[in-house]
């Protein structure tokens, strides 16, 4: 097996540490992105439900108005 100089080992370890840090940051950003998307989906369903309720109420009210 080939023996590498100690400086080479230190450089490899430094690069591995930087890669690990980048991976940790990426994973953390992904989790934050997923939670943000879930909250946007909840708001979409709530606004759709609210629009349906308002439409149903408006239809009920206008169906009981006298015709001119």
User: Does a structural domain hold residue 57?
Assistant: yes
Q: What is the phi-psi region of residue 5: left when phi exceeds 0, alpha when psi lies from -120 to 50, beta otherwise?
A: beta
pLDDT tens per residue across span 29-56: 777 788 888 888 999 999 999 999 999 9
Average pLDDT, the chain: 85
Residue 22 covered by a domain? no
Task: Please indicate, yes or no, if residue 25 is contained in any of the structural domains.
Answer: no
Give the predicted TM-score (pTM) of the model: 0.49
The total of structural domains in the chain comes to 1
Name the nearest CA neighbour of 29 among 39, 41, 37: 37
Domain with 38, as residue range(s), is 34-62
pLDDT in tens, 7-24: 678 888 889 999 998 888
Alpha-carbon distance of 9 to 6, in angstroms, equals 5
* Residue 52 counted as domain residue: yes
């Amino acid at each position: 097996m080939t023996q590498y100089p100690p400086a080479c080992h230190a450089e490899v370890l430094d690069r591995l540490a930087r890669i690990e840090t980048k991976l940790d940051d990426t994973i953390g950003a992904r989790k934050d992105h997923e939670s943000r998307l879930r909250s946007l989906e909840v708001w979409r369903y709530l606004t759709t439900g609210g629009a349906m309720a308002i439409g149903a109420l408006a239809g009920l009210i206008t169906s009981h108005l006298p015709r001119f």
